[in-house]
Structures are given as C-alpha cells and as structure tokens.
Chains A and B, each alone.
Chain A
Amino acid sequence: MDVGTVIHAICFYAFAGVAVASGVMVIAARNPVHSVLFLILAFFNAAGLFVLLGAEFLAMILVIVYVGAVAVLFLFVVMMLDINFTALRQGALQYLPIGALIGLILLVELVLVFGAWTMAPDFAASAVAPTPPIAQVTNTAALGALLYTRYIYAFQVSGLILLVAMIGAIVLTLRGREGVRRQKISTQVSRARADAVEVVKVRPRQGV
C-alpha cells in the first residue's frame, strides 16, 4: 500500500467519523444553538468527503449554500424564536421505532437501486454521456461550460423565476409604515450653516 492510499483512507475515516458523530450530536445536544453548530460541522465534513471523491464543485456548493445560507438561517431562527426545545423534545423517543423503520426502508431502497437498476434497453443508445470526458476537465469547469452554453435557456428562465420570487416576496409583505422617520440624505447635505447655527449675544446675568 502506498502512502497516498493510506492518507486517503485516513482522511476518509476522519471526515466520515466526525460527520457521523456530529450528526448524532445534532439531535442529542440540549442547546439548540449547539445543534445548529454541530450541523454546520457535519456539512463541512460531508464537503470533505465530496472533495475526496473528486467532486469539488459539490463540496463548494455544500459549504456556500448549506453552511453559508441555510445553516445561518437556522441559527437566526433558533436564536430569534423563543421556543422551549426541551418541552418539544419530551417524548421524542417514542418516535424512535418509526424513525428507525423509515431509515431502514431508505437503506434497503438505496441498496436496491444500486443493485438492480438498469436503464430500459431500448434507450441505451440515447443515454446522456458526460461531455467532455471526466478525465480531461475539472467538474467545475465542465459544469460552467455546460451551464452557459447547452443550458443557457434553462439558466436564464431560472433567473426569471428567482426574480418573480423576489417580486412576490416584496409584493406580499412590504407595507409602507406610518410614522417612520427616514434619513433624508439630500436634506442633510443641503443644510446650510445659517439653518443650523444661531449666534446669540449673551449679556452677563441676563441669560438668553
């Protein structure tokens, strides 16, 4: 066994072990903020596993989207909403059997998919092949090249969808509130000295 393989194996077990352990801690931690932090740790380790697989784009997306956006959002929600998590968690153990069952079914399905799935034989010829071959180009470059050429249409329409989502969120929630004192920069800047300062001669013992 050469050194590279050993290092690879060590990294894999380190990432996988920490990911599983932090996954357990997510549901075991008493403090919900700790749960979210462990979730972020799990995401980082999963990203490490992706890098080991050579899927560096997925690793980046996992860190940027899940850690950068989703997990931080969780953190905000957990901190802002005053939810009594200990009360919520009471009796959670009674769901353990059904949770275990669902997990088992998922596992069996995954095994079945990998073991028994075949493409319909009549369609084998038209199956999509990776272009260009994986060995020649990193997957980020390959995805970028495809996204902005072959899928430019879907990419642009997706952009419009996000715009609609943004307009929709603003239309449905933005309300002009009364009595808000907004900063008016132009008025502030255009204020002359004469408007703000008044020089008053104050005679002794008479006050203003």
Chain B
Amino acid sequence: MIHFALSDFLPALPEMFLAAAALALLILGVCQGDRSAREIAWLSVLALVVTFALVAAPLHAHGPERQISFYGMFVTDGFGAFSKMLVLAGSALSLIVAMRYNEQEGIARPEYPVLVLLATVGMMAMVSANDLISLYVGLELQSLALYVLAAFQRDTLRSTEAGLKYFVLGALASGMLLYGASMVYGFAGTTAFDTLARDFADGGTASIGLVIGIVLIAVGLAFKVSAVPFHMWTPDVYEGAPTPVTAFFSVAPKIAAMSLFIRVMVGPFGGLLVEWRQVIWFIAVASMLLGAFAALNQTNIKRLMAYSSIGHVGYALIGLAAGSAIGVRGILVYLAIYLFMNIGTFTVILCMRRDGKLVENIDELAGLSRTQPGMALALAIFMFSMAGIPPLAGFFAKLYVFLAAIDAGLYGLAVIGVLASVVGAFYYLRIVKLMYFDEPKGAFDKPIGREMQAVLVLTALVILFFFAWPGLLVDGADAVASALFSG
C-alpha cells in the first residue's frame, strides 16, 4: 500500500495554487457574468504574483536544489524555478496590457484571464516535466488553452482562422511529438528522463529507432517554439489572433517551450549531444536567416513581430546548440530580456488605435515622435534593443549566446548569427526612422490608460538600465544553469 504525505505534494504547490485560483476565478466569473471581466483579470494578475512568490521563495531559501516528486514525474530545480518566474511574469504583464484592448473590442470576458491562467499552469508543468508523459500532458494543457485564446475574438474571420490554423498545425506537431515519444519508449523501455539519462551516461548507444524518436520529439518542440522549418503557422496566427493574445503567445509559451526544449535535450538526451547538435545547429541558422530576411518586406506590424520572434528563437537556440552551462545561461538571459522587449513593443502596438479603430500597418507609426514623444521613445528603445545595439539589453542578450557558441567552438554559428542580426537591424531601425524622420499621420487615440503607461515605463527602464546591474539576472541564470549540468 502506498501512502501519501502532504509533503509529497509540496514541490508542486505553485502549480496547485495557480490551478485552484483559476478554478475559483472561473466560478466567480460564471456567477457574475461578463461585467466582472476587469475584476477577474486583476485577480488573475494577483494569483500570478502570488504564484511567482511561491516559486521564488524556495529558490531564495535553499538555492537551486533539485527535488523529484510524484514518482519521478515532476522535477523542481533552480532552472525550472527561473523559467517559471519568467513565464509567470510574461503571463501577468500580458494580462495587464490586455484588459483595455479587450474592453474596446468587446471581448472582455472572464474566461480570458482564466484560460491564460490555465495555459500558465500547463507551461509550469512543461517546465517541470521529468517524464515523457508529464511533458505531453503539460504541453497539451498549454496548447489547448492557447488554441481557444487564438480564436477568442470569435466574431471576426481572422481570429477564428488563426485559431483553426493553430489548432490543426498544433495537433500535427503534438502527433509528431507523441510518435517520437512512443518510439523512445519502444526502444528504451522507459519514459522517465532520469532513467534515460542514466542509461546514456552508462554508455548506452542510441539505436536508429531511438534517434528517430528523439528527432521527432525535437520536431514537435521546434514547432512549439516556432523555429524554422516549423514556423509556418507563426505569421498567420500572430496576425489573426487578437493583439493581446499575440503578445501573450510571443512571450510566455515561447519561454516555456524553450525551457522544455533545454530540459529534454540536455537532460535525458544530454549524452547524445553530438547527434542532436547538428539538428539544433540547422534550425538555429535557418530561424535566424528567415527571421532576418522574411521580415524585410512586411507591412503589418504583427507579422513583422512574428518574423522577429522567429529570429529571436534562432539566436536563443545557439545557446542550446552549444550544449553547455554557458549556453543555457545565455538562453535564460536572452529569454528574460526578450520578454521585456516584446511585452513593451506589444504595449505600443496595442495603443495603435485611431478614432477607435485598430491600425496595424507599420506606416501608421510615421511621425510618432511628434504626436506621442513618450511612446515613440519607448518604442525606439525596444527597437534598438532588438537590433542588438549597445548599451541596451538586447545587445547583452545576443552577446551571451554568441559567447557560448564561441566557447563551444561553433564559430560558424556565431558568425552567421552576427550577420543575421545586421540584416535584422535594418527593419528595426526602419521603424525608428519612420517615427522620427517622417511626416506625422495623425496621433493615436489618447489616453492610453494608466496600466499601459506603467508597463511601458517598466519595460523601457529594464531594457535601458540592464547594463548597469546585469549581475541581478546573469548571476541567477549562471547559478541555475550550472546546477542543471552538475545535477
């Protein structure tokens, strides 16, 4: 007979709290109807903040300590806690900037924050996965909520199309991943990451079936992070989904999927670095190049951000190709900075509204520096940062992954990365040029809302002054990344 003690569940306390909060808010929302949307959105932000504290507290108290629970299905360690904090911050910020937009578009309903919370639970489960089964259930929980969110503006054709497209392609990717997982289980006889890692460490060689399984799992994960050549859904979904949903898509799920990618590749299959490195090398190069070149002639700013995010995933994957603690540190720093740059940029995009109507064309930003100088300055900071211009945070993000690539001897990858970021700088700087040197097309609607201003100021300050205190982020990332490799 197996006995459970309460302490067995403690490692998953943040997840359980967030899930319970989502259920409670769902009941509240159902009872109060649509008029409670804003109240429930703020309560959801509060729930995310509390969860953040629950994740951060043990990390602060015990350091990055590795703990296995639920019969090996669930792992809590410093790396997981770090990624979860990023995911929670991304979800909370995107919920805050969503409220006003949803009210203006008439889609302010209590289900929106509840679905975001449930998706976040799924992401936390992904980050903590220590078994192919828990990987899959976490991923599905996240994806299913995201499909619904993409189609949330159900009365517009573009949103429903985005939801359907995302659903069909996402289901295909999940199928690939499951197929890969079943191959791994069939040939290795286990789904547990720890057992797989131990067997490879004991000199287990990968049979051809096992390699196919690993590649298929990588394909499924590459789809979720929207790396080339599995990126096709990204521009359409980003363009079609309601803008706050796009903002959410571009940060939290991407961070979670990236962390899961790291966890799977360096965990159970860490012993096969030589085999999978070439795969990651290829998708990193392809993502960087496509992200740089395909964005050049985009006119819709949401599509531009989609290609930009594909490019950023490519840079982050450089760290994974390095396959070292320095590489993982680079990815974590990159993701953290990317989170702030992206949320900031999307806050500006959410304010692009003229006479109550949304405008999404890049040309509409012309002359923004004269009509709304504050917003233009913030967007200029984000664009310079994304282009990787020092001393803004985006420069350091790229610096740390390129350092990892050089450390691992992947000089080609670093050179291609630098060249791609030069090409990418063109379209980021074009936006700055539009805002500062072109004739104004008329102001956007004012006021933009106090919470939007707050997010804008916060993200801009983080990006601007990261260079002054890089240690706050880099040291933490360094500690959890080395713990991931030593443990």
Residues of A that sit less than 8 Å from B by CB: 117, 119-120, 122-128, 149-154, 157-158, 160-161, 163-165, 167-168, 170-172
Q: How far is the CB of B37 from chain A (nearest CB, A)?
A: 12
Are A157's CB and B189's CB within 8 A?
no
Are B137's CB and A161's CB within 8 A?
yes
Which of B74, B189, B191, B198 makes the CB contact (< 8 A) with A119? B189
Q: How far is the CB of A73 from chain B (nearest CB, A)?
A: 19
Q: Is B115 an interface residue (CB 8 A)?
A: yes
Docked Cα-Cα span, A76 to B170, in Å, equals: 29
Q: Is B138 an interface residue (CB 8 A)?
A: yes
List of A residues within 8 angstroms of B71 by Cβ: 149-151, 153
Q: How far is the CB of A31 from chain B (nearest CB, A)?
A: 33
Q: Is B453 an interface residue (CB 8 A)?
A: no
Interface size on B, residues (CB 8 A): 49
Are B199's CB and A123's CB within 8 A?
yes
Q: Is the interface of B mostly helix, strand, loop or mixed?
A: helix
- Encode contact with A along B178-201: 1 for CB under 8 Å, 0 otherwise: 000000001111110001001100
Are A123's CB and B148's CB within 8 A?
no
Q: How far is the CB of B163 from chain A (nearest CB, A)?
A: 8
Q: Is B210 an interface residue (CB 8 A)?
A: yes
A-B contact pairs, 5 of them (CB 8 A): A117-B186, A120-B204, A120-B210, A161-B137, A164-B148
Q: How far is the CB of A203 from chain B (nearest CB, A)?
A: 53
Docked Cα-Cα span, A149 to B9, in Å, equals: 12
Are A157's CB and B204's CB within 8 A?
no
If A158-B137, A160-B19 touch, whether A123 touches B152 (CB-CB below 8 Å) is no
Are B199's CB and A168's CB within 8 A?
no
Are B70's CB and A126's CB within 8 A?
no
Q: A119-B186, A127-B190, A160-B121 are in contact. List 11 more A-B contacts (CB 8 A).
A: A119-B189, A120-B209, A122-B202, A150-B71, A153-B12, A153-B70, A153-B134, A154-B133, A154-B137, A172-B148, A172-B151
List of B residues within 8 angstroms of A158 by Cβ: 137
If A126-B189, A171-B152 touch, whether A165 touches B204 (CB-CB below 8 Å) is no
Are B189's CB and A168's CB within 8 A?
no
Q: Is B396 an interface residue (CB 8 A)?
A: no
List of B residues within 8 angstroms of A170 by Cβ: 111
Write the chain B residue with the least CB distance to A152: B70
Are A154's CB and B134's CB within 8 A?
yes
Are A128's CB and B121's CB within 8 A?
no
Closest 7 A/B residue pairs (Cβ):
A127-B189, A122-B204, A168-B148, A153-B70, A157-B137, A120-B207, A123-B188
Are A126's CB and B144's CB within 8 A?
no
List of A residues within 8 angstroms of B207 by Cβ: 120
Docked Cα-Cα span, A127 to B190, in Å, equals: 6
If A123-B190, A151-B73, A160-B141 touch, whether A172 touches B154 (CB-CB below 8 Å) is yes
Write the chain B residue with the least CB distance to A160: B141
Are A149's CB and B187's CB within 8 A?
no
List of A residues within 8 angstroms of B2 by Cβ: 149
Which of B70, B109, B121, B205 makes the CB contact (< 8 A) with A171? B109
Q: How far is the CB of B106 from chain A (nearest CB, A)?
A: 13
Docked Cα-Cα span, A158 to B148, in Å, equals: 17
Are A126's CB and B188's CB within 8 A?
yes
Q: How far is the CB of A134 from chain B (nearest CB, A)?
A: 17
Are B144's CB and A168's CB within 8 A?
yes
List of B residues within 8 angstroms of A123 by Cβ: 187-190, 199, 204
List of B residues within 8 angstroms of A126 by Cβ: 188-190, 195, 198-199
Q: Is B114 an interface residue (CB 8 A)?
A: yes
Q: Is B125 an interface residue (CB 8 A)?
A: yes
Are A167's CB and B73's CB within 8 A?
no
List of A residues within 8 angstroms of B12 by Cβ: 153
Q: Is B363 an interface residue (CB 8 A)?
A: no
List of A residues within 8 angstroms of B190 by Cβ: 123, 126-128
Q: Is B203 an interface residue (CB 8 A)?
A: yes
Write the chain A residue with the least CB distance to B73: A153
Docked Cα-Cα span, A160 to B137, in Å, equals: 9
Docked Cα-Cα span, A88 to B387, in Å, equals: 57
Which of A120, A153, A164 makes the CB contact (< 8 A) with B118? A164
Docked Cα-Cα span, A158 to B115, in Å, equals: 15
Write the chain B residue with the least CB distance to A113: B186
Are B73's CB and A161's CB within 8 A?
no
Q: How far is the CB of B36 from chain A (nearest CB, A)?
A: 15
Q: Is B147 an interface residue (CB 8 A)?
A: yes
If A126-B195, A164-B148, A165-B144 touch, whether A120 touches B188 (CB-CB below 8 Å) is yes
Are A119's CB and B141's CB within 8 A?
no
Most chain B Cβ neighbours within 10 Å, of A150, A160, A161: A160
Q: Is B206 an interface residue (CB 8 A)?
A: yes
Docked Cα-Cα span, A157 to B144, in Å, equals: 12
List of A residues within 8 angstroms of B186 by Cβ: 117, 119
Docked Cα-Cα span, A122 to B204, in Å, equals: 5
Q: How far is the CB of B206 from chain A (nearest CB, A)?
A: 7
List of B residues within 8 angstroms of A171 by Cβ: 109, 111, 115, 148, 152, 154
Docked Cα-Cα span, A153 to B125, in Å, equals: 10
Q: Is B140 an interface residue (CB 8 A)?
A: yes
